[in-house]
Amino acid sequence: MNQTTTQAIPVPSIFTKALRTLSLRHRIALYYTITTALLIAIVFTILFFMVESTVYKQFDEEINKEVSEILSDAHATTHDFTSFARFKNFIDDKEVNYGNKDHDDKETAKVDTEFIQLMNNSGQVMNKSVNLSRNVLMFYPGLTTPAYFSSSVLGSTVRQIQLPLLNNQGIIKGYLLVAVPLKNAIIVLHDLQNVFLFSFPGIILILFVLTRLIAGRSIRPIEMVIATAEKMTQENLHQRIGLPRHHDELYRLSATINALLDRMHEAFQREKQFTADASHELKTPLAVIKGTLEVLVRKPREQEHYETRIQFCLKELNRMAQLIDQLLMLARYESNRMDPRIEQVKLSLALERVKGRLQPVALEKEILFKVFGTENAFVAADPSMLEIILENILSNAIKYSPPRSMITITMERKSSSLACSITDQGIGIPEEKLNAIFERFYRVDESRNSGTGGFGLGLSIVKKLADLQQIKVSVTSREKIGTTFTLTFPSA
């Protein structure tokens, strides 16, 4: 026999799932309303019990006055009780007292005045007020101290006291019970309870609606963020979120997201420019090589012509390889995969090695190098990275210097650093373009067919490698006079 079992879904999981589907506005309103509802319920409960306690306290005081009057009229106290006969003339029930049967047993109790009842220590009624009729007040045997409590007479609530009566030896001989009706007080307390019970749901409902409206206005900037993000594409990265009037957390959130969008837009523009420039720089030599080879295969030529064109193609391929190497270097830097190996490097030796590699290019233009400064200057740097920095700066100086000019290299020690300046006598850089020369593929001569043969990556590599080694790079320039690059090394 197959039995099908069904597993009940826990109520908390259903409630949690429902909460997850609520919007932020409704969750804020719900949490705030639940919290406030608990606080209001606690306040209402405390108020009700405070009022009830105050009412009972007033009735207890009234009962004490009644007890004092009874004891005063009977010329008795609670500590020298001798006989119940003392209270005979002061309790309104002479017909009932001491077995008088003339009292109408059918008379009902009157609950709008106070009630008095005397009992012996065994719980037998010795005397009582006529308005009690056949009813008796609540009695708790064995009490040794005055006690206040609520009871009922003929279905109506009364407040009463049970007062022990002691003889002069301190032995309990009887009890005096006095009660006053609570009808009006019960009505007031009941009305107050109804006001609290019926007003509570209304207050909570109004509170939820108001909280939802306030929460909606408060999170409007978040909705604007969502709307802006949903509309964001490559074509409209320039759009920004409107800032709220109040400088609060939502203002900071909107400002932070706007700053993030600024960085994204800037990065996207850089990548877009990088892609365009890189594709152009690679496309140009490929087109040149393709065109040269196509011309060579059209008809037989002399060996010397073949050698010349093949050398030209090899030169273009070397330029492409150099471009790819530089792009890979920048990619490694931006992916944080380059860790410099800092050690003590003799700056003059690094300069000599770089000058030796660039000397043939400089001789072609009859450019001279002059070095001034400390011969034994040591700096803290990565040797290979330092030579790349020096080679890029010196190669730029050679490219943009006129023939038969001079490049000056000056090393100067300062208080806590060493400065190495490289000055050429070239065409110079316009002042408004100085801040852009360290960007990738940026060249002062915007023509892509510039005769310098550079890619616009050298100074970008210089800046990034210098930053890795905490080397400060600065530049000053005057058009048609020359440019000076200064490397400031930290104290070795």
Average pLDDT over residues 251-274: 79
CATH number for the region 221-338 comes to 1.10.287.130
**What confidence category does residue 410 fall into, taking pLDDT thresholds of 50, 70 and 90?**
very high
Euclidean distance between CA atoms 204 and 170, whole angstroms: 58
User: What strands, in cross-sheet order, belong to the sheet with 482-490?
Assistant: 368-373, 406-413, 417-423, 482-490, 472-478
**What confidence category does residue 492 fall into, taking pLDDT thresholds of 50, 70 and 90?**
low
pLDDT value at residue 293: 84
Average pLDDT over residues 442-453: 53
**What confidence category does residue 87 fall into, taking pLDDT thresholds of 50, 70 and 90?**
confident
pLDDT digits (tens, 9 = 90+) for 97-140: 434 444 444 444 454 578 888 988 888 888 888 888 888 899 99
Q: Which fold has domain 340-490?
A: Heat Shock Protein 90 (3.30.565)
Does residue 172 contact residue 166 with C-beta atoms inside 8 Å?
Answer: yes
Q: At what angle do helices 458-468 and 303-334 cross, to 10 degrees?
A: 40
Cα dist from 490 to 420, 467, 476, 484, whole Å: 12, 12, 20, 19
pLDDT digits (tens, 9 = 90+) for 456-489: 777 888 888 898 889 999 999 998 899 999 999 9
pLDDT value at residue 448: 39
Instruction: Give 79-178's CATH code, choosing from 3.90.1690, 3.30.450, 3.90.930, 1.10.357.
Output: 3.30.450
Higher pLDDT, 471 or 219: 471
Cα dist from 425 to 91, 407, 430, 480, whole Å: 130, 7, 14, 8
**What confidence category does residue 143 fall into, taking pLDDT thresholds of 50, 70 and 90?**
confident
List of residues 6+ apart from 292 with CB closer than 8 A: 309, 312, 313
Mean pLDDT taken over the chain: 80
**What confidence category does residue 391 fall into, taking pLDDT thresholds of 50, 70 and 90?**
confident
Other Cβ atoms closer than 10 A to 440: 20
Residue 426 has pLDDT above 80, yes or no: yes
**What confidence category does residue 83 fall into, taking pLDDT thresholds of 50, 70 and 90?**
confident
pLDDT value at residue 482: 92
pLDDT digits (tens, 9 = 90+) for 43-82: 999 999 999 888 888 888 888 888 888 888 888 888 888 8
pLDDT value at residue 444: 66
Which of 198, 152, 163, 260 has its CA nearest to residue 44? 198
**What confidence category does residue 447 fall into, taking pLDDT thresholds of 50, 70 and 90?**
very low
Euclidean distance between CA atoms 391 and 458, whole angstroms: 9
Which of 415, 408, 343 has its CA nearest to residue 379? 343
